[in-house]
Chain A
Amino acid sequence: MRAFLSCLSVKKNKQKPRYQEAIILASETSFTVNEIKALYDLFKKLSNCIYDDSLIHKEEFHLALLRNSHKQNLFADRVFDLFDVKHNGVIEFEEFVRSLSIFHPNAPKEDKITFAFRLYDLRQTGYIEHEELKEMVLAILTESELTLSDEEVESIVNKTMMEADSKGDGKIDQEEWKELVEKNPALIKNMTLPYLKDITLAFPSFILNTDFEE
């Protein structure tokens, strides 16, 4: 908790984006320039929680999501890995904004469907396979401290595979995933963050305190 509370003290930033960069980001994402300013203050807090380097490390990401920097969570790891577009072990500000933009209520549904597919495609094969699905079900059961028998888990996974795998080849491709989401839109409900609709109103102090380089 102490480490998390330290997030609240914004430290000196080392990678202050230029105003022009914010304009470009705004033009290429669902955010306005003011919202990107607000996101920058949020980013500064998150990225200096543990390491004072204005980069979000996995431990800092876990601390924000799970309130514990050392807690294991398959799904938080997957989200982090997708945000870390450069695959260099940290999330930079631009990666943070571009990835969060997919979670904006105004972002295209197609982008949300694709992002969710990539989250679930653990081995990045282009398919969600039976074993991956089972691994994720087992992970959420562990996370929730719930116990199901192997037969029950298999039954859930098999039923889902039968429902989604319309081509019958034993794996779920992007097209089948999209069809499944069209039938059950709630499957991507966690791909939309209402907070992002108007982050400047939700966090007005961010705007007041933000100092982009002109």
Chain B
Amino acid sequence: PCFNAFDIISLSQGFDLSGLFEKD
């Protein structure tokens, strides 16, 4: 594998705070 673990972890939906700003 050539992935950095943090690169993979950062893809979590739980980190995507843009969801807070969705209107619907």
Contact = CB atoms under 8 A, between A and B. Distances in A.
Interface of A: 5, 8, 42, 46, 64-67, 73-79, 100, 103, 119-120, 133, 136-137, 139-140, 143-144, 152, 155-157, 159-160, 163, 180, 184, 186-187, 189-190, 193, 195, 199, 202-203
Interface string B1-24: 101111111111111111111111
B13 A152 contact: no
Contacts of B13: 65-66, 73, 75-76, 143
A184 B12 CA distance: 18
29 contacts: A5-B24, A8-B23, A42-B21, A64-B22, A65-B16, A66-B13, A66-B14, A73-B13, A74-B12, A75-B9, A78-B14, A100-B17, A103-B17, A136-B5, A137-B5, A140-B12, A143-B13, A144-B11, A152-B1, A156-B5, A156-B8, A180-B6, A184-B7, A187-B6, A187-B10, A189-B10, A190-B17, A193-B17, A195-B21
Interface of B: 1, 3-24
Given A42-B20, A195-B21, A202-B21, A133 B5 contact: yes
Given A65-B14, A65-B17, A76-B14, A140 B1 contact: no
Nearest to B4: A160
B15 A79 contact: yes
Contacts of A64: 19-20, 22
Nearest to A77: B14
Q: Which 9 A-B pairs have the closest CB atoms?
A: A75-B14, A76-B14, A160-B5, A73-B14, A75-B12, A65-B19, A190-B15, A136-B9, A195-B21
A79 B10 contact: no
Nearest to A1: B24
A175 B17 CA distance: 26
Nearest to B6: A187
Contact of B12 (A103, A139, A163, A199): A139
Contact of A156 (B1, B10, B15): B1
